[in-house]
Structure 1
């Protein structure tokens, strides 16, 4: 019994020594994960607050290198190559430094392998890309520093910084088209592309502005392969592709078929889509 009591006391002592008070961080950590085209973009940073202070031109001096957040360096990771202002960023991780000024900011992607500390000067050998962008005032207060990725498309997005009364945006692109075209070439040269493969390739050609006549062949193949179980969304895109190819009569025929199926499925979104294009093409 005495031994058990001593063991209990020893464990309690160890717990009391190791226990620590946990409180909220003044600049909490944030992580953004965004798919841009086929590229995974991840941003890790800490978010300071205004807390009644003057930020740009004071707490964050103009003309000085800023870690673009608090605590550890802000880090951005691209799963593929990306392009910033004509400069290639190889797939990988970079520190994001900025040099704010009253009307413009420099945005710098830095790759010295460190995850903390702000250099007094930037080593040109570690500057992977640098661009200068205009800053804009916002008509409201933004208490917490925020980084986001907006203006998304299949081929790029906009990295945005907003804090206090300042907004800055920087565009970047990713090599989606090359990757998709390579994938389409590989699948279409295989023995048995599926209906979904033909459909995906046709819709991509439509959206990316590639050979529309080839898109017609692929979407028609899709519809033929699924004629025993027709899909109204497949047929709606067949209508759009035919219209883009200049076949208005065929487009109207497909849209009416899609509309009938969408009504049978009580699918309002595609009922409206088909009615809208039929009106546009003068058939309603």
Structure 2
């Protein structure tokens, strides 16, 4: 009897365990979302959940004014940065941070917390803040049924994060320090090695020209690149640098050469770019 009882109990326990371990797949009330966005040379990842209004009034009721909000739903919204960034005028070291907010009618407090393990804002402590700053909300012309985080207004080293829900919109800028990284690569791959790789020389010259660094050095690199392996886009840059250096005769020659190459390649964009450049030189 004991053996039968033990075997029966074991089987019943296994069945109960397996049944309890199974779950029915159901849609989330606030679906999870993940954004992977490159800003400058920094990878920014956002993990968050997206609640919907579903007929409810959000700010001032469902999300009270003056109280810490998880900035989404379910677990805390988490921003991760692959390099140091600047937000709200303050340095944020590379790493992961929970995003919280304190909404108000005319002013929001944005908070990045070092504690990313909380469920929503339960257990939030100001002492764990990495930074906080204030922003002014704006009113959207249309209703956003579902909470949304998006990146826009990109530059070479920054982007604006926009959070929208119901009729409220809040923006803040993420800035990255691109120049030291690029200059270190140029030093390592171009200057130290004295490379003759036309691609690397073009990249280095383009960066110097675009970022108002040493124009003569930019020209030397791009000239070597185009002498070795001319492309319509590299010769066009050479013409632009020659214009900047006051070398009009050389610039016209380069622009005409680039236009002819673009025509052969059937690239209307560079044909037009060169035509405008030639017109500006004359």
For the 8 Å contact 2:144–2:167, the answer to whether it is kept is yes
Separation in structure 1 between the aligned mates of residue 34 and residue 175 of structure 2, nearest angstrom: 21
Q: CA deviation at 1:13?
A: 9.3
In structure 1, what is the equivalent of residue 142 of structure 2?
140
Residue matched to 2:41: 38
User: 1:57-206 maps to which residues of 2 (within 5 A)?
Assistant: 57-119=60-122, 122-124=125-127, 126-187=128-189, 188-206=191-209
Q: Which residue of 2 aligns with 1:3?
A: none
Aligned to 2:6: none
Change (3 A) 1:281 1:54: farther
Q: Summarize the alignment of residues 265-276 of structure 1 with structure 2, pairs less than 5 Å apart.
A: 265-276=265-276
User: Any conservation in 2 of the 1:50–1:164 contact (CA below 8 Å)?
Assistant: yes
After superposition, the C-alpha distances for 1:142-189 in whole angstroms (9 at most, x for unaligned) are 111110111111211111101111111101211111100111111121
Which residue of 15, 20, 23 maps to 1:20?
A: 23
- CA distance in structure 2 between the partners assigned to 1:193 and 1:122 by the alignment: 56
User: TM-score scaled to structure 1, two decimals?
Assistant: 0.88
In the TM superposition, residue 54 of structure 1 has moved relative to its aligned partner by: 1.0
Alpha-carbon distance in structure 2 between the residues aligned to 1:225 and 1:170: 45
Q: Structure 2 unaligned segments of length 5 or more: list them.
A: 1-11
* Alpha-carbon displacement from aligned partner over 1:193-248 (angstroms, at most 9, x marks no partner): 4111110011111222222222111111111221xxx2101111112222233333
In structure 1, the gaps of 5 or more residues are 1-9
SS of 2:57's equivalent?
A: coil
The answer to whether the Cα contact below 8 Å between 1:65 and 1:120 also exists between their aligned partners in 2 is no
Between the two proteins, the alignment pairs up a number of residues equal to 270
Q: CA RMSD in A?
A: 2.2
Q: Hey, what does 1:281 align to over in structure 2? A: 281
Task: Name 1:249's counterpart in structure 2.
Answer: 249
Partner residue in 2 for 1:259: 259
For residues 84-117 of structure 1, the C-alpha deviation after alignment (integer angstroms, 9 at most, x for no partner) is 1221110000001111111221111110242423
Whether contact under 8 Å (2:112, 2:131) holds in the other structure is yes
Q: Distance in 1 between matches of 2:245 and 2:52?
A: 53
